Amino acid sequence: MKKFLLLGILMISVVSFSEILTGSFVSKIHQISGEVSLETTGKEITISNFTYDGNGKNVYLILTKDGDFKDMKIISKELKKGYVNETLTLKVNNLQKLIDEGYNTVSVYTKTNKSTFGDASLSEVQ
Protein backbone atom coordinates (compact mmCIF):
# COMPACT_ATOMS: atom_id res chain seq x y z
CA MET A 1 0.00 0.00 0.00
CA LYS A 2 2.81 2.41 0.89
CA LYS A 3 4.46 1.77 -2.51
CA PHE A 4 1.27 2.76 -4.33
CA LEU A 5 0.86 5.90 -2.21
CA LEU A 6 4.44 6.99 -2.91
CA LEU A 7 4.01 6.27 -6.60
CA GLY A 8 0.82 8.34 -6.67
CA ILE A 9 2.50 11.28 -4.94
CA LEU A 10 5.44 11.06 -7.35
CA MET A 11 3.13 11.04 -10.38
CA ILE A 12 1.24 14.08 -9.12
CA SER A 13 4.47 16.00 -8.52
CA VAL A 14 5.76 15.51 -12.11
CA VAL A 15 2.54 16.48 -13.84
CA SER A 16 2.98 19.92 -15.43
CA PHE A 17 0.20 22.42 -15.52
CA SER A 18 -0.68 23.30 -19.07
CA GLU A 19 -1.71 26.71 -20.31
CA ILE A 20 -2.99 27.66 -23.72
CA LEU A 21 -1.34 30.71 -25.24
CA THR A 22 -2.78 32.56 -28.23
CA GLY A 23 -2.08 35.63 -30.30
CA SER A 24 -2.98 37.27 -33.61
CA PHE A 25 -0.49 38.59 -36.12
CA VAL A 26 -0.25 42.35 -36.47
CA SER A 27 0.88 42.94 -40.05
CA LYS A 28 3.58 45.40 -41.01
CA ILE A 29 3.96 44.39 -44.68
CA HIS A 30 3.39 41.44 -47.04
CA GLN A 31 -0.24 40.90 -45.95
CA ILE A 32 0.66 38.88 -42.83
CA SER A 33 -2.32 37.60 -40.85
CA GLY A 34 -3.30 34.57 -38.80
CA GLU A 35 -3.90 33.29 -35.29
CA VAL A 36 -1.25 31.51 -33.25
CA SER A 37 -2.00 28.99 -30.50
CA LEU A 38 -0.01 26.54 -28.43
CA GLU A 39 -0.30 24.43 -25.33
CA THR A 40 2.66 25.14 -23.05
CA THR A 41 3.22 21.47 -22.26
CA GLY A 42 2.98 20.49 -25.92
CA LYS A 43 5.50 20.41 -28.73
CA GLU A 44 3.56 22.21 -31.47
CA ILE A 45 2.61 25.72 -32.45
CA THR A 46 -0.44 26.02 -34.67
CA ILE A 47 -1.00 29.00 -36.91
CA SER A 48 -4.50 29.06 -38.37
CA ASN A 49 -5.74 31.25 -41.22
CA PHE A 50 -2.11 32.12 -42.01
CA THR A 51 -1.67 34.54 -44.90
CA TYR A 52 1.61 35.79 -46.37
CA ASP A 53 2.07 37.06 -49.94
CA GLY A 54 5.38 35.17 -50.38
CA ASN A 55 7.30 38.18 -51.69
CA GLY A 56 10.05 38.33 -49.06
CA LYS A 57 13.53 36.79 -49.15
CA ASN A 58 15.04 34.53 -46.47
CA VAL A 59 11.79 34.52 -44.48
CA TYR A 60 11.21 32.31 -41.43
CA LEU A 61 8.85 32.00 -38.48
CA ILE A 62 10.70 32.75 -35.26
CA LEU A 63 10.13 32.90 -31.50
CA THR A 64 11.46 35.90 -29.57
CA LYS A 65 11.32 37.44 -26.14
CA ASP A 66 9.11 40.51 -26.64
CA GLY A 67 10.28 40.91 -30.24
CA ASP A 68 14.00 41.09 -29.37
CA PHE A 69 15.94 39.34 -32.18
CA LYS A 70 19.10 38.90 -30.09
CA ASP A 71 18.07 35.44 -28.85
CA MET A 72 15.54 34.48 -31.53
CA LYS A 73 14.74 30.85 -32.22
CA ILE A 74 13.90 29.87 -35.81
CA ILE A 75 10.90 27.51 -35.71
CA SER A 76 10.18 26.91 -39.41
CA LYS A 77 11.80 26.12 -42.70
CA GLU A 78 12.22 29.03 -45.07
CA LEU A 79 8.86 30.38 -46.30
CA LYS A 80 9.42 30.31 -50.06
CA LYS A 81 5.82 30.67 -51.22
CA GLY A 82 2.64 32.54 -50.49
CA TYR A 83 -0.09 31.31 -48.15
CA VAL A 84 -3.78 32.20 -48.07
CA ASN A 85 -5.76 31.24 -44.95
CA GLU A 86 -3.71 28.07 -44.42
CA THR A 87 -3.03 26.13 -41.23
CA LEU A 88 0.61 25.58 -40.30
CA THR A 89 1.67 23.17 -37.57
CA LEU A 90 5.22 23.67 -36.34
CA LYS A 91 6.99 21.10 -34.17
CA VAL A 92 9.22 22.89 -31.66
CA ASN A 93 11.68 21.01 -29.48
CA ASN A 94 11.80 22.23 -25.88
CA LEU A 95 8.72 24.43 -26.40
CA GLN A 96 7.80 24.45 -22.71
CA LYS A 97 11.36 25.43 -21.75
CA LEU A 98 11.36 28.26 -24.31
CA ILE A 99 8.04 29.58 -22.99
CA ASP A 100 9.36 29.34 -19.42
CA GLU A 101 12.44 31.32 -20.51
CA GLY A 102 10.21 34.16 -21.75
CA TYR A 103 9.78 33.47 -25.46
CA ASN A 104 6.37 35.02 -26.04
CA THR A 105 6.24 36.38 -29.59
CA VAL A 106 5.95 34.61 -32.95
CA SER A 107 7.20 36.68 -35.88
CA VAL A 108 7.50 36.38 -39.64
CA TYR A 109 11.16 37.37 -39.93
CA THR A 110 13.43 38.17 -42.86
CA LYS A 111 17.11 37.38 -42.36
CA THR A 112 17.94 39.59 -45.36
CA ASN A 113 16.62 42.79 -43.77
CA LYS A 114 16.80 41.63 -40.13
CA SER A 115 13.22 42.74 -39.50
CA THR A 116 9.72 41.33 -39.23
CA PHE A 117 6.76 41.44 -41.57
CA GLY A 118 4.34 40.81 -38.69
CA ASP A 119 4.27 39.72 -35.06
CA ALA A 120 1.90 37.83 -32.77
CA SER A 121 2.33 38.41 -29.03
CA LEU A 122 1.22 35.38 -27.06
CA SER A 123 -0.91 35.58 -23.95
CA GLU A 124 -2.83 33.13 -21.79
CA VAL A 125 -6.40 32.33 -22.77
CA GLN A 126 -8.73 33.78 -20.12
Residue 5 has pLDDT above 60, yes or no: no
Using 50, 70 and 90 to split pLDDT, how confident is the model at 11? very low
Bin 85: left if φ > 0, else alpha if -120 < ψ < 50, else beta. left
Cβ partners under 8 Å of residue 42, min gap 6: 18, 95, 96
Percent residues over pLDDT 70 in the chain: 87
Cα atoms in the Cβ-side hemisphere of radius 13 Å centred on 94:
10
* Residue with the larger pLDDT of the pair 69 and 106: 106
Using 50, 70 and 90 to split pLDDT, how confident is the model at 12? very low
Q: Is the pTM of this model over 0.75?
A: yes
- pLDDT recorded at residue 16: 54
The domain limits of the chain are 18-124
Mean pLDDT value of segment 21-50: 95
Q: What is the per-residue pLDDT across 72-121, written as a single tens digit (0 to 9) for each?
A: 999 999 999 999 999 999 999 899 999 999 999 999 999 999 999 999 99
- pLDDT recorded at residue 14: 44
